[in-house]
Structure 1
Amino acid sequence: MDMDGFLVAFAVSFGVIFVAELGDKSQLMALTFATRFKAIPVLIGITIATSVTHLVSVAVGVGLGASLPTGWISLVAAVAFIGFGAWTLRGDSLTDDEERKAKRAGGSAVVAASVAFFLAELGDKTMLATITLATQYNWFGVWLGSTLGMVAADAMAIVVGRKLGQRLPERVISIGAALMFFVFGAWLFVEAVPEVWGPDAWSDAAALIDDRVAGWAAVLLGVLGVGITVWLRGRAHRARGERRLEVVRTPGSPAWWARLLLLVAALLGFGAPLLVALGVLEPIAVLARPGVAVVGAGLLLLGFAVVAIATLQLGTVWRRSATEAGAAVAGGTEPGPAAAAAARRPVLATGGLHSRVRNPALTGLIVGCAGMLFISPTLLGVLAGVLILVAVQIQARAVYEPGLGSALGAEYDAYRSRTGRFLPRLRGGEEPGAEHDPDRSRTH
């Protein structure tokens, strides 16, 4: 082996790949994995994947020719990353035996990181750079230098990820990691489409999204989201049984106004894009763009996903409480009147999305409605959005929170002090102004 040629190839390849990797999606992915798994297994997985990928790159560069179907591989990787995001967002629960095994082994992290990085790097710019270097320099020096250069850059990201893991709450890390996995999946998908269907694929797709198509998309996605939400809400409420808030719904009451405004907002929110789809109403020209419509679709799906998750979590809490109440009655631990009162008492959901936000379903509703507006932007849609915001504020401030405060007392006060109304609270303690509210002890 020519030692001078090897050293030159190693130095050039290490420097080129290290610099190319800075800020690349693979480095961001390494940071994400480091927030979920231990650093050493992740680094081992990265090393395995990089070694194999860059060996393939060197072989291609030396003589096989660039014939790998990288576009389809990127599509597979995009689906895999979206799956990783859903898995991370859902979270895992371990049995005692599984927890003991997890403490003894890091194999799952190695496999997950190896597969993810292998799929991500096939067709990436670092692979293409390695192929190019292998056509000019010593193959072994290129392989070793490019592998170590990428591992070094990703190791920097792992150090950053571990530091974040020591300072941020576990649930915040899980949500952040899931979002980053979703971003990686979308990133890979955007890159893969031109490779699979041609360089003009995105422009051809954008040309198909005119105002009428966007209007129909808004209506159909909105109906789908609302339909699934209503179905899940019905299931959850059946599990609730007699546990209901004592809410006044007479005309002119806060609950009455909230329901009326939501109904009017729904009519306007669905009516506006339907009129656009039928060619009766023109959208707001400055916002009627394919890119804005795609962002809106993402927001709509995200918002209704939050509503669905929050509803499912409420249903789980209600079913568990009903089971516990039934066991208490069957075991005779509670007398008849006490059991009846306990069966009607509202139950506070404090886990999952509710661990940080008191009204996550209302937050999801706002995000989903904003997405629907972006898909087909109209002045009627803007008015619907304003009505939604007003209705949600009334529902949270004048219906849900006073009712739960009256029913649960100190338990709800403690929960209220550590959570945000619609968004997670950045700092602990009471809400601004809560300690000065003279009616707080009466209504809450």
Structure 2
Amino acid sequence: MEAFLVSTGVVALGEMGDKTQLLAIVLAATFRKPVPIILGIFVATVLNHAAAGLLGGWVAQALGPDVLRWVVGLSFLAMAVWMLIPDKLDDDEGAAKRQRFGVFGTTVVAFFLAEMGDKTQIATVALAARYPEVVQVVLGTTVGMMLANAPAVFLGDKIAAKVSMPLVHAIAAIIFAVLGVLTLLNVGRMF
């Protein structure tokens, strides 16, 4: 249960103000059809995070416990620093307006591609390497993505005006830093 809860919380916070959350807002403003957009985000996230979780599980098995502890710990510390760097939506996302696959298909493709190499995907790899319960990690990161993005689809502009993104990013950075330090110190049931 710890793997699920930590994964949910870390990704929900990490996704706030992220380019994929901005993409969710752009898709909502462009298409004005929240249900297929939310379903598209869900499908893209499950596919992307399942692959990231499998990679993280493989990394955990491929590396010895000492090397893995250092790789995961340093990865969490790097994620803490990365969280403090604001995201911007790339101009490439404007291509979503030229839809060929309908609202759902466009959302799946755009969101899946935007999530490649993104903070939350890298976090999923690190979390899956940290916790042996890869399914719980993938479920948790998917729930975290949905907690951050579903409201953004419905209330994007109103939420962005009321929530301090630097504060949210700072909280997420602290969580990643604590996870990194605990991992490096070999605290908990890992390794």
TM-score by length of 1: 0.27
1:34 and 2:46 matched: no
Structure 1 position 36, deviation (Å): 2.2
Cα distance in 1 for residues equivalent to 2:17 and 2:158 = 18
Cα distance in 1 for residues equivalent to 2:158 and 2:94 = 25
Q: Which runs of no fewer than 5 residues in structure 1 stay unpaired? A: 1-6, 66-77, 89-106, 165-444
Structure 1 position 127, deviation (Å): 0.5
1:60 and 2:55 matched: yes
1:127 and 2:139 matched: no
Structure 1 position 80, deviation (Å): 4.8
Superposed CA offset, 1:246-305 (max 9, x none): xxxxxxxxxxxxxxxxxxxxxxxxxxxxxxxxxxxxxxxxxxxxxxxxxxxxxxxxxxxx
Structure 1 position 162, deviation (Å): 8.5
Larger-Rg structure: 1
1:139 and 2:134 matched: yes
Cα distance in 1 for residues equivalent to 2:144 and 2:113 = 18
Cα distance in 2 for residues equivalent to 1:11 and 1:154 = 18
In angstroms, what is the RMSD of aligned CA positions? 2.5
- Aligned-residue identity in percent: 39
Structure 1 position 151, deviation (Å): 1.0
Superposed CA offset, 1:85-134 (max 9, x none): 5x49xxxxxxxxxxxxxxxxxx7111010000100001001010010000
Q: Which runs of no fewer than 5 residues in structure 2 stay unpaired? A: 63-89, 160-191
Partner amino acid, structure 1, of 2:154 = V
Structure 1 position 161, deviation (Å): 4.0
Structure of higher RCO (CA pairs closer than 8 Å, 6+ residues apart):
2
TM-score by length of 2: 0.61
Superposed CA offset, 1:161-194 (max 9, x none): 4879xxxxxxxxxxxxxxxxxxxxxxxxxxxxxx
3-state SS of the aligned residue for 1:146? helix
3-state SS of the aligned residue for 1:123? coil
3-state SS of the aligned residue for 1:113? helix
Q: Kindly tell me: are residues 156 and 79 of structure 1, through their superposed partners in 2, closer, same or farther at Cα, counting changes over 3 Å?
A: closer
Residues 25 and 156, structure 2, Cα contact 8 Å, conserved in 1: yes
Residues 27 and 96, structure 2, Cα contact 8 Å, conserved in 1: no
2:105 matched residue in structure 1: 111
Runs of 4+ in 1 over 2 A off after TM superposition: 78-85, 161-164
Cα distance in 2 for residues equivalent to 1:49 and 1:24 = 16
1:20 matched residue in structure 2: 14
Q: How many aligned residue pairs are there? A: 128
